[in-house]
């Protein structure tokens, strides 16, 4: 048989018509193509054989074995290196790192560009017993008497003269061009005191990443003089002055004179005077001195550049970080009591009639309780809400306050707090038990007072109402909700007053009988002047609280409390109307401030000229009501208590069937509380008695009680004594005539 090639050749010869040249050309092409395909097949065969000899990269693993180590060492082949195509780099944000101040290894002998005597000297002090104030005044007098001092020094109290610490310890007076020297005269207390708030401010400033880390570098310098008692507090002698000296250095201040320590018990003011004279000598000395320009940041750590980007932390390291950041934990041994026994604050408050409960609470019997026990009338709360004063306990679970109001009757003797609880915390059971015990003890002491009515005296040993408005900020107490629930369990109504500076606490507040919010000024400027708040964002905090009243706490029975102080907050009615429109409270209390003495040393500059008359309060209330009506807000004057110089404005929803219902049905309130159902301020109202309604001839005084006019009674007794003396003289004259 013919082969395939022979058949293909004959067919080609016939197709081209017997032309031999075409046949030869086709045969040549066929042979060349066959040789090329044969070579290609040979190369593929050799490559497949080579691949079959390489070990497989897939390994069989026995996961049921308890041994994880292979018996034979396996060489895993490396992946073939491939040349990657060059790619364009990914765009990422550029990171700018802060450059730390270059430390100066050695202080240099230098002379200031500005003479120390040409600077403005500020002398700051804080005091509870008066010793620091006397030493600071002596320092002021010594420097002021120096002829070389160009500018008169300024003496300022950290407690009363500085409404905003940031103006001096975040910014500095006079700005960048000023050359100021700060002198600090500071005591040390083992109990809570205003100096703790100052330390907290310096600490917060240093740890706040939003502000300049070294704001006090603009100062020419600072010096600290610490006062204390080395015998009683050996381990903590002048410890707070040491802390402040450290923080002033950390904030960029330069120490121009060594920190002084004086034991006031043994060394006294002569030792302090020695420090003062030495400092005065420094000011006059033009000789160059060692001035260390290195910022005293002793907490900073040397970090290698290769570790600077590390952000992960070991759990074991967190304890050190917490200690460095100054975070207080419940087990920290440095936690203080807010009002420790035998502390100056404790002595001051107990002298004013307080019973200190635990470490941060207090109870005090109200003068209206004494008045009600004698049948001489109850306070305005009886006229407005039906609270009998002899059944009311006035207490607070937190003596600390975030304001230092000019009209405060405590004259700034109670502790202060900004926003964080930093003291030992007593449980609510202890606070309530101690408050009731202290209240009943004070009631028992009234048994020998002339005029006490036995029936009311016996009723007073069953508290029915609790006014959480004594002093301080009750809502600041972390367990306030548990405390209020315990009151309700004993069927004690709750009347809580807050100063609109703690919006977070206000939003979390549970159901209470009546919620007061103090609105002491219509604008930011007046509020700073009259309340002297500690928080720099005091106005924003108040606005947040107003919004919370309208929204989250709209179910509560809410009351605005306006304390009128002539010359401070009685001029702008529209500002108050704006707040009412924003918060929409149930009622508005307007009360004239009560004069409780002046004390410039404690920040109470009020005199009798600042206390409004009742007629002035009435004019203010009528103007405010007219402004509210002009805006379409349904508020009207409902009740009054002329004796307390107090007037109540209520929303028209409390006027039912033409009669005001501002009183509270207390049994109904407790019934609603026990039911667990939601309810509003209108679900437990009661009709206001006729004698308490606005315009009544009684002026809010209960006709059952006996009106007692102290001045009239005093004048009456004086006239009786004069008549008795005149009668005695007449009788003696008659006897002489007979003789």
- Reported as a single tens digit per residue, the pLDDT across 123-170 is 999 887 788 889 999 999 999 999 888 889 999 988 777 877 888 888
CB within 8 A of 592, min separation 6: which ones? Answer: 563, 564, 611, 612, 613, 614, 616, 617, 645, 646
pLDDT of residue 515: 96
pLDDT of residue 143: 92
Residues 288-306 have a mean pLDDT of: 47
pLDDT of residue 103: 52
pLDDT of residue 48: 55
Mean model confidence pLDDT for the chain: 80
pLDDT at 664 over 90: yes
Report strand pairing: 558-564 vs 587-592.
parallel
**SS3 letters for 135-186?**
HHHHHHHHHHCCCCCCCCCEEEECCCCCCCCHHHHCCCCCHHHCCEEEEEEE
Classify residue 86 as left (phi > 0), alpha (psi -120 to 50) or beta. Answer: beta
Six-digit token string for 324: 């460095």
pLDDT of residue 257: 86
Residues 418-425 have a mean pLDDT of: 85
pLDDT at 561 over 90: yes
Give yes or no for a contact between 256 and 220, defined as CB atoms under 8 angstroms apart: yes
The string of pLDDT tens digits covering residues 163-222 is 778 888 888 888 767 789 999 999 887 666 678 778 888 888 888 777 788 888 888 899
- Which of the 8 DSSP states describes residue 367? H
pTM of the model: 0.64
Residues 663-668 have a mean pLDDT of: 96
Report strand pairing: 646-651 vs 587-592.
antiparallel
Give yes or no for a contact between 438 and 463, defined as CB atoms under 8 angstroms apart: no
pLDDT at 697 over 60: yes
The string of pLDDT tens digits covering residues 351-381 is 888 899 999 999 999 889 999 999 988 999 9
Comparing 519 with 49, the larger pLDDT belongs to 519
Q: How far is CA 471 from the centre of its chain?
A: 16
Q: Is 295 exposed, middle or buried (0-12, 13-18, 19+ CB in 10 A)?
A: buried
Reported as a pLDDT band with limits 50, 70 and 90, residue 115 is confident
Residues 276-289 have a mean pLDDT of: 76
Dist. CA 601–CA 603, nearest whole Å = 6
pLDDT of residue 214: 86
Could you write out the DSSP letters of every residue in 74-88?
--PPPPPP--PPP-P
Classify residue 218 as left (phi > 0), alpha (psi -120 to 50) or beta. Answer: alpha
pLDDT at 324 over 50: no
Give yes or no for a contact between 363 and 438, defined as CB atoms under 8 angstroms apart: yes
Dist. CA 513–CA 465, nearest whole Å = 10
pLDDT of residue 310: 42
Comparing 598 with 340, the larger pLDDT belongs to 340
The string of pLDDT tens digits covering residues 7-30 is 666 766 666 666 667 667 777 777
Dist. CA 103–CA 301, nearest whole Å = 13
How many CA atoms within 13 Å lie on the side-chain side of 183? 28
pLDDT at 65 over 50: no
pLDDT of residue 315: 45
Which candidate, 567, 611, 571, places its Cα nearest to that of 591? 611
């Amino acid at each position: 048989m013919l082969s395939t090639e022979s058949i293909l050749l004959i067919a080609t010869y016939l197709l081209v018509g017997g032309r031999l040249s075409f046949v030869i050309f086709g045969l040549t092409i066929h042979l060349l193509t066959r040789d090329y395909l044969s070579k290609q097949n040979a190369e593929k065969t050799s490559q497949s054989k080579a691949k079959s000899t390489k070990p497989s990269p897939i390994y069989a693993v026995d996961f049921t074995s308890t041994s994880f180590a292979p018996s034979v060492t396996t060489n895993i082949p490396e992946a073939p290196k491939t040349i990657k195509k060059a790619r364009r780099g990914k765009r990422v944000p550029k990171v700018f790192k802060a450059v730390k101040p270059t430390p100066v290894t050695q202080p240099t002998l230098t002379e200031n560009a500005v003479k120390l005597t040409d600077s403005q000297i500020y002398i700051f002090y804080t005091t509870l017993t008066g010793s620091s104030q006397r030493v600071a005044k002596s320092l002021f007098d010594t420097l002021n008497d120096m002829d070389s001092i160009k500018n008169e020094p300024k003496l300022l109290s950290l407690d009363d003269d500085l409404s905003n610490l940031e103006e001096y310890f975040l910014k500095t007076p006079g700005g960048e061009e000023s050359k100021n020297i700060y002198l600090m005269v500071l005591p040390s207390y083992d109990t809570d005191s205003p100096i703790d708030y100052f330390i907290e401010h310096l600490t917060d400033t240093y740890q706040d990443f939003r502000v300049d880390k070294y704001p006090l570098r603009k100062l020419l310098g600072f010096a600290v003089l610490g006062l204390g008692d080395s015998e009683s507090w050996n381990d903590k002698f002048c410890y707070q002055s040491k802390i402040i000296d450290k923080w002033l250095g950390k904030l960029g201040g330069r120490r121009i004179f060594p920190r002084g320590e004086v034991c006031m018990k043994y060394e006294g003011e002569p030792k302090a005077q020695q420090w003062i004279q030495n400092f005065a000598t420094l000011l006059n000395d033009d000789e160059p001195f060692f001035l260390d320009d290195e910022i005293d940041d002793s907490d900073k750590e040397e970090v290698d550049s290769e570790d600077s980007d590390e952000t992960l932390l070991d759990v074991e390291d967190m304890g050190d970080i917490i200690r460095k950041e100054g975070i207080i934990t419940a087990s920290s041994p440095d936690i203080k009591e807010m009002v420790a026994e035998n502390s100056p604050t404790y002595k001051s408050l107990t002298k004013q009639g307080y019973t200190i409960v635990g470490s941060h609470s207090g109870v005090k019997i109200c003068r209206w309780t004494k008045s009600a026990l004698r049948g001489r009338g109850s306070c305005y709360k009886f006229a407005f809400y039906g609270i009998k004063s002899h059944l009311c306990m006035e207490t607070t679970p937190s003596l600390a306050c975030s304001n230092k109001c000019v009209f405060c009757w405590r004259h700034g003797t109670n502790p202060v707090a900004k926003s964080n609880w930093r003291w030992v915390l007593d449980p609510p059971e202890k606070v309530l038990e101690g408050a009731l015990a202290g209240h009943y003890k004070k009631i028992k002491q009234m048994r020998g007072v002339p005029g006490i009515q036995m029936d009311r005296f016996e009723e007073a040993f069953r508290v029915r109402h609790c006014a959480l408005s004594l002093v301080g900020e009750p809502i600041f107490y972390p367990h306030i909700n548990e405390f209020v629930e315990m009151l309700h369990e004993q069927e004690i109504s709750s009347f809580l007053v807050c100063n609109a500076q703690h919006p977070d606490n206000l939003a979390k507040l549970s159901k209470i009988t009546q919620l007061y919010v103090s609105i002491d000024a219509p604008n930011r400027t007046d509020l700073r002047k009259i309340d002297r708040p500690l928080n720099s964002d005091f106005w924003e905090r108040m606005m947040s609280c107003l919004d919370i009243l309208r929204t989250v706490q709209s179910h509560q029975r809410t009351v605005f409390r306006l304390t009128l102080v002539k010359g401070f907050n009685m001029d702008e009615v529209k500002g108050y109307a704006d707040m009412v429109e924003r918060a929409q409270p149930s009622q508005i209390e307007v009360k004239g401030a009560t004069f409780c003495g002046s004390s410039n040393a404690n920040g109470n500059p009020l005199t009798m000229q600042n206390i409004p008359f009742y007629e002035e309060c009435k004019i203010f209330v009528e103007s405010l009501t007219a402004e509210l009506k002009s805006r379409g807000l349904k508020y009207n004057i409902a009740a009054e208590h002329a004796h307390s110089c107090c007037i109540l404005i209520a929303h028209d929803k409390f006027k039912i069937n033409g009669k005001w219902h501002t009183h509270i049905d207390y049994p109904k309130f407790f019934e609603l509380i026990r039911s667990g159902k939601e309810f509003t301020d209108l679900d437990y109202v009661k009709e206001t008695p006729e004698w308490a309604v606005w315009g009544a001839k009684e002026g809010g005084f209960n006709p059952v009680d006996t009106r007692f006019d102290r001045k009239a009674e005093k004048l009456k007794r004086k006239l009786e004594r004069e008549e008795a003396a005149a009668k005695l003289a007449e009788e003696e004259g008659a006897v002489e005539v007979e003789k």
